[in-house]
Structure 1
């Protein structure tokens, strides 16, 4: 038991005896980290999630749902900020947990992050292909064999973006700046044009009386209450759990810590600033969405586009399509970057094959693990019904949020001497509130999602017991030499 609870020394978290923690080139400046966060958090969901949740769950109160989800994620973001300022490493929550709670829990979190990032990349790639085809049809062009075309587009986008990430962080960063700037222009147009067509009467009092639905309880909270409900305060809080999917991604900024200039200061600022900007943008779009048409008239299919059509601004449909395509492109790109860095960290710790931690001498990136991740994403997107697994991505992320929040509290007690570039204010109160908020969001997810998540984690524990425990770098003698390709890289 003591072997699986062994903890990574804090000094090793940022400077292993092999020098591996310094093998990635510094690329990201403070502004780049904000763009990285905006690139992954602002996707196509900004054009749809507000309308979907307003129509089915929260009514005009969806604006409050966005606030609640934003506050819950901000609490988690503050916790990530403190830990990433103390341990600026590519492993993010995986490494934080390794230092604070021990190896087996680190593996569990790493396995949850694999679920979050790998499945999310496949989900978003599949959604990107569908939206790209729809964007073409909105111009009046008929697309024959649309399903086959979507499959080809999934392959093309994943091969292209995997190649960009494998060739170097600087190349991906330049592409990210261009695409994020373009999609922010599209979102700005949505907000400005939409504000001119708001009817205050559509907001009502931001509250629709709750109603009991004639369907079986699906979420954990509904099972406890014995009934399914929508609207009212129950609906507002339930919608917040679904909306949390839109905010997920700020944690990926933490995986860029080893490649960031002055990481202890810049990474916390990048995470917090990108999340605050994203929250403001989401609230603005939700305000426009609900204000243009009554929530009862919002359609489930392309709600924002249908709202603009309803007020006679048909040309905005094409702006929304362009913004959605660009938005999802940047999301896929950053997800691949984040997944690469997490698996890279797990590999150099020996919990997965160490060969995956090899860094390309030419491109100074973990190209080998990048190609593996891209291949797996292609297989998942092409052959698995990933669009039905969005909630699994949310649950995997929220599970990591729990450990990060708890980690702040525990590390303040166990390791008060560690230098911190950022401190969560009002600790342990705010980390405790983050724990409670995260648990609430998790309980509003479906029981079926929880069942699949438990199976995934059980399989992960089996993998650890069969491989990770025996091959862990901490299981080797302290004088074990560095493996080829894992030595110190001088920049």
Structure 2
């Protein structure tokens, strides 16, 4: 096989499973379920996890087919380039940049808070400058600087560290499930909220969901609350698609990437639902707190030692999330730069490890600026909408590619196509409609800026610039062709 400007192969199937678990299992397992149970879905949060998991699985199957056909860097960006052309590829690439860059900043900021909480629980006084919800803090700078350097200069060392940290956090999560199950009370799960609580006031339509406005109903709990909680819970599953960005660095990628991605997602889904069931079973949803729901649940049942286990596991989990986000973001930017849509300097490979160090350093620097000076903790839903948009386009790509390139070799095929991809599109769009109106407005603004950047730079510097505008199906850029 010949790859132009290719990356070094370092990943196996098991590495990809660890990569997927590294990014999907983070603080969300300790906080998202509790927050959504307490404020939105009650015990129905378990159904919210199932709905989000099924939607993610449908999208993952679609990713698997396209990745097995085009096992190169770039993930949804590359697939869209080949299937729908450069303009749509840019739009998806721009959406992925929003997703991963903002996610890295959000998670790094949360890592700082959890790290400070862990130290405080151990009796260590943490000065405000080291960790705080807003403004500059040193812990955020520390985690982003360290992981950016590892990803930029020695991905192999980062992979070994990832194995250790993922293994350790799985041990911690196992302890949560086992100890929590000893205090399980089925009556807590069967408890139904008596009266739906108002979700927003009439004057606060920006923070209502789009679906809620369409049907004139915006309240927490009940079926509406379960559905409204699902997009927030989908944030926990986001990241399985990042596994496909490592395809160019994976051995026998046409088979191993689909297997690694789907197995990682299935494992994460089981773990998330198990933790949600245990937490809701330990204490009634009305007693769950918003700040540290799982840790406080263990306090209520007298298992105070588990608070330390949860804090340490959360810190490890968030570390791996930031690491994998940086890896995935770098590969998307690398692919876009290699096609000329971003400055080609970002596609340079450095050192014997052949890593896109320049792109990684730029991405890390932007993440630091966002995390330190932007209100990232209030923009979490933007990560979700950017990812769901990519899911929808990839699912549509499977249908289109089956018609336009039916004879193209595929290492994996979506069963029941076009029905399954169509279901993925509908389910993804449904989650998007359950996001807040203000999130949609921010997303439209970001995409408008992206179109402007493409017109001013990407379109003029594209590697396929001479063919733009001709009435023919775009062909894969040179680096996407394997022989």
Same fold (TM over 0.5): yes
Deviation at 1:237, TM superposition (A): 1.4
2:81 corresponding residue in structure 1: 98
Match of 1:472 in 2: 462
Give the whole-Å Cα distance in 2 for the aligned partners of 1:115 and 1:462. Answer: 15
Alignment correspondent of 2:395: 405
CA distance in structure 1 between the partners assigned to 2:361 and 2:194 by the alignment? 49
Deviation for aligned residue 1:417: 1.0
Tell me by how many angstroms 1:147 deviates.
5.5
Tell me how far 1:487 sits from its aligned partner. 10
Q: What secondary structure, in the 3-state scheme, does the structure 2 residue paired with 1:72 have?
A: helix
Gap change, CA 1:477 and 1:430, over 3 Å in 2: closer
Q: Which residue of structure 1 aligns with residue 7 of structure 2?
A: 24
Classify the secondary structure of the residue corresponding to 2:351.
coil
Alignment partner, residue 64 of structure 1? 47
Offset from partner CA, 1:412-444 (integer Å, 9 cap, x none): 000011100000100000100000000010011
1:402, 1:342 → 2: CA distance? Answer: 18
Partner of 1:136: 119
Per the alignment, residue 220 of structure 2 pairs with: 230
Matches for 1:74-223 after TM superposition, within 5 Å: 74-146=57-129, 151-204=137-190, 210-213=196-199, 215-216=201-202, 217=205, 218-223=208-213
- Secondary structure at 2:311's aligned position in 1? helix
1:455-482 Cα shifts (integer Å, max 9, x gaps): 100000000001111110012599xxxx
Contact 1:39 1:331 in 2 (8 A): yes
Give the Cα–Cα distance (whole angstroms) in 2 for the partners of residues 389 and 210 of structure 1: 26
Partner SS for 2:219: strand
Task: Give the drift of 1:364.
Answer: 1.0
Q: In the alignment, is the contact (CA less than 8 A) between 2:198 and 2:218 conserved in 1?
A: yes
Q: What is the correspondence of 1:269-288 to structure 2 with a 5 Å cutoff?
A: 269-288=259-278
Q: How does 1:423-442 map to 2 (within 5 A)?
A: 423-442=413-432
| 8 Å CA contact retained: 1:210, 1:234 | no
- Alpha-carbon shift at residue 200 of structure 1 (Å): 1.3
The CA distance in 2 between the partners of 1:487 and 1:291, in whole Å, is 52
Aligned twin of 2:438: 448
SS, match of residue 289 in structure 2:
coil
Cα 1:95–1:53, aligned 2, differ >3 Å: closer, same or farther? same
Q: Say which SS state the counterpart of residue 464 (structure 2) adopts.
A: helix
Tell me, yes or no, if the aligned pair for 2:329 and 2:363 is still in contact at 8 Å.
yes
- Residue 407 of structure 1, CA deviation: 0.2
**d(CA) in 1 for partners of 2:164, 2:130:** 29
CA separation in 2, counterparts of 1:317 and 1:370? Answer: 35
8 A Cα contact 1:61 1:208, kept in partner: no
Q: CA deviation at 1:355?
A: 1.1
In structure 2, the partner of 1:369 is 359
CA contact (8 A) 1:133 1:146 kept: no
Question: Per-residue deviation at 1:215?
Answer: 2.0
CA distance in 1, matches of 2:262, 2:156: 23
C-alpha change, 1:438 and 1:63, in structure 2 (3 Å) is same
Matches of 1:41 and 1:487 in 2, distance apart? 29
- C-alpha distance in structure 2 between counterparts of 1:67 and 1:379, whole Å: 35
Q: Distance in 2 between matches of 1:211 and 1:308?
A: 26
Say if 2:24 and 2:236, in contact at 8 Å, map to a contact too.
yes
Shift in CA distance, 62/487, structure 1 to aligned 2, threshold 3 Å: closer
TM-score (norm 1): 0.92
- Cα gap change, 1:81 to 1:487, in 2 (>3 Å): closer
**SS of alignment partner, residue 290 of structure 2:** coil
Deviations 1:184-227 (A, max 9, x none): 11101100000001111111166766444462341111111223
Compute the displacement of 1:245 (Å). 0.3
Alignment RMSD = 1.9
Map of 1:7 onto structure 2? none
Structure-1 residue corresponding to 2:471: none
The Cα shift of 1:232 comes to 1.2
How far apart, in 2, do the equivalents of 1:206 and 1:75 lie? Answer: 30
Following the alignment from structure 1 to structure 2, what is the Cα–Cα distance between the partners of residues 85 and 207? 46
* Counterpart Cα distance in 1 of 2:167 and 2:298: 23
Q: Which runs of 5+ in 2 are unaligned?
A: 469-477
Does the CA contact (< 8 Å) of 2:130 and 2:139 recur in 1?
A: no
Residues 487/113 of structure 1: CA separation in 2 closer, same or farther (3 Å cut): closer
1:37-56 equivalences under 5 Å are 37-56=20-39
Contact 1:51-1:299 at 8 Å conserved across structures: yes
